[in-house]
Amino acid sequence: MTSSASGTGNADLTIVVARDFSRYPGGRYEADGDFSGEAFRNEKLLPALRRGLATGHVVIVDIDGAAGYPSSFLEEAFGGLVREGHFGADQLARALRIKAGPLFESYRLLAEKYIREAKPRKLA
Amino acid sequence: MAWMTRAKREHLAPPQKSLDRCIRCDRTLGRPARIESLGLQLKRISPYRQMRLAELAKHRHRHDVRRRNVKRGVIERATTAKPSGFYSPPRYARKLTPPEHFDFDKDAEGVLQWLNFAFNQSTDIIRNRRRRRPSKRRSLARVKGYYDFTKIKTMTPAAALIVAAFFDRHRQLAGVPIYVYDYDRWDPQVRETLAQVGFFELLGVPNPASQPAPPNSTKIERFTSEGRLRPGEVGRLIETLLGYILAAHPGCLSDEQQIERTAKLFGALIEATENTRFHAYPADTHRGYGTLPNWWLTGSVDPTQRRLTLIVYDQGISVPGSLASYRSSKWPGHGWINGIIRRFSKGSFDPDDTIADHAKVRLAMKMGISSTGEEHRGKGLPVVRQAITHCDRARLHILSRNGAYLEETGKRAVSWHLKSPMIGTLIVWDLWL
């Protein structure tokens, strides 16, 4: 896959899901099929967020242009950032912005809800 | 064995076979019948000879049953379509008649009865083929039974997908397809529906020549079947079907409506196929036969009614089956509801009784129950339901084991019990655009 985040220097890091990942986002886990939420999180979101935090830039995820978003994709991609212990919800509120037009507004709200509601997984 | 003397051969223990009763009419066969008729001479017959006589008696009985069935018309002469494209000479075969209307709205019970019967029969064949050594003979000589599709008058795309999935499973697990018979005498509409869904490609038989379809006839996309998620194929199917509607009725949907409907349907279809992947075929389920852990997907468009139909089917353990009490279901409501019913029924209620299947399907659609018990899971089923909320007129129909669920826009969702179980889960979305 190609690099997800475009822009360097002072420009914000932007991921356009339909362009940089897939027009047809899939389900939850990588093992279950193509273009999963887990793959998006690990391949696109996490590197961009780490780079953004290191340079002090906000990562923008543009969700317009895709065929649609299954809830499991959104939950795993965005809620998974907190659940898997990569970032805290407060940290993400500062470092990540989800951009959507009026037609994809509901998906933006859903992704933000999943981030808010996710609980870090307890280590055994 | 050739080097053995006859005396030695006769003292060998007879093979362990159950030849006592006929599997069809339960008549006592073989050895006991022979022993009775032979009376005092019994002592002189060796075990080896007894076995031989039993086999002969069984063979004679089979011949009698067959002759009787030909007389009654249960067995008829039919023509097989071979993969090579040639027709076999007519031969006698048992006729298994499906219902006239292959339609879940008109005759769900009839379709399900046929499906259960055919499925069980196919399972027996799959099981026996696995036990048997591979035969060197490659012919269609032994035709024991066939499905008489000449009696079917109507077939919906959903029913066609079920038939295709059944034939697909058999082909993949048994290693040989079930052949079709007399298909030149099938109803043209039924033949066309099955041809469009990809049925004849499954069997490897040539597609019967059909008249060019009228411009406004129903268009059905060839089915897709896969074990993993294929979001690309799902998305393209929806876009193709919407394209048919827009070609027939230009301007009936604005760009925004098109994007919105694609997104809702895409989300619903991905959730449905993902549920199949996660829940329909658990590794701990032993159903006594081979399982093909796939989903089958197709869609159709009726341009005259501006109706778009999407269908997903799997042959798994079904929605109620995945919520059975012996599974590790941690959804608190599940235990709570079962507890209440058990208390009112004074302990006689069995939470896994199929009579409660329709209630379980309805609850799963309403609450988003997860059989995994994980908090972040189980959000999918309500999404399946939301796909119909954005249309003026739409319908969601689910058949899962013994439960049926129907929801139409502007009406209250209803669910009811099915006498014959659906094998797996069928979800049909109908949208009038």
pLDDT band at A115 (very low <50, low <70, confident <90, very high): very high
Quick count: other Cβ atoms within 10 Å of Cβ A24?
Answer: 23
pLDDT band at B40 (very low <50, low <70, confident <90, very high): very low
Whether the CB-CB separation of B279 and A35 falls below 8 Å is answered with no
Whether residue A69 and residue B228 make contact (CB cut-off 8 A), yes or no, is no
The residues near A86 (Cβ < 8 Å, ≥ 6 apart) are A46, A49
B204-213 burial, b for 16+ CB within 10 Å, e for fewer? ebeebeeeee
Whether residue A24 and residue B235 make contact (CB cut-off 8 A), yes or no, is yes
DSSP single-letter state for residue B316? S
pLDDT band at B15 (very low <50, low <70, confident <90, very high): very low
Residue numbers in A near B266 (CB within 8 A): 24, 67-68, 70
Q: What are phi and psi of B248, to 5 degrees?
A: -80, -35
In angstroms, what separates the C-alpha of B259 from chain A's closest C-alpha?
7
Q: What is the pLDDT of residue B45?
A: 72
Q: What are phi and psi of A101, to 5 degrees?
A: -80, 180
- CB contact B376 to A (< 8 Å): yes
The residues near B218 (Cβ < 8 Å, ≥ 6 apart) are B157, B193, B300, B301, B302, B303
Q: Which tokens is A15 given?
A: 């991921």
- Euclidean distance between CA atoms B268 and B383, whole angstroms: 6
- CB contact A28 to B (< 8 Å): yes
**Mean of pLDDT over chain B:** 77
ipTM of the complex: 0.87
In angstroms, what separates the C-alpha of B369 from chain A's closest C-alpha?
14
Whether residue B380 and residue A34 make contact (CB cut-off 8 A), yes or no, is no
- Euclidean distance between CA atoms B204 and B380, whole angstroms: 37
- Euclidean distance between CA atoms B13 and B50, whole angstroms: 11
Q: Is the pLDDT of residue B250 over 80?
A: yes
- Tell me whether residue B3 is exposed, middle or buried, using C-beta atoms within 10 angstroms of its C-beta: 0 to 12, 13 to 18, 19 or more: exposed
CB pairs under 8 A between A and B: 89
Residues of A (68-97) whose Cβ lies below 8 Å from B:
68-73, 75, 79, 83
B42-79 burial, b for 16+ CB within 10 Å, e for fewer? eeebeebebbebbeebbeebeeebeeebeeeeebbebb
Work out the angle at residue B308's Cα, subtended by the Cα atoms of residues B302 and B311, and round it to the nearest 5 degrees.
115
- Euclidean distance between CA atoms B305 and B307, whole angstroms: 5
Residue numbers in A near B379 (CB within 8 A): 71-72, 75
Residue numbers in B near A118 (CB within 8 A): 376
Nearest to A23 among B235, B277, B380 (CB): B235
Instruction: Kindly list the distances between the CA atom of residue B178 and the CA atoms of A53, B78, B82, B205, in Å, as whole numbers in the listed order.
Output: 61, 14, 10, 11
Whether residue B229 and residue A36 make contact (CB cut-off 8 A), yes or no, is yes
In angstroms, what separates the C-alpha of A85 from chain B's closest C-alpha?
15
- Euclidean distance between CA atoms B316 and B73, whole angstroms: 36
Identity of the residue numbered A110: L
pLDDT band at B52 (very low <50, low <70, confident <90, very high): confident
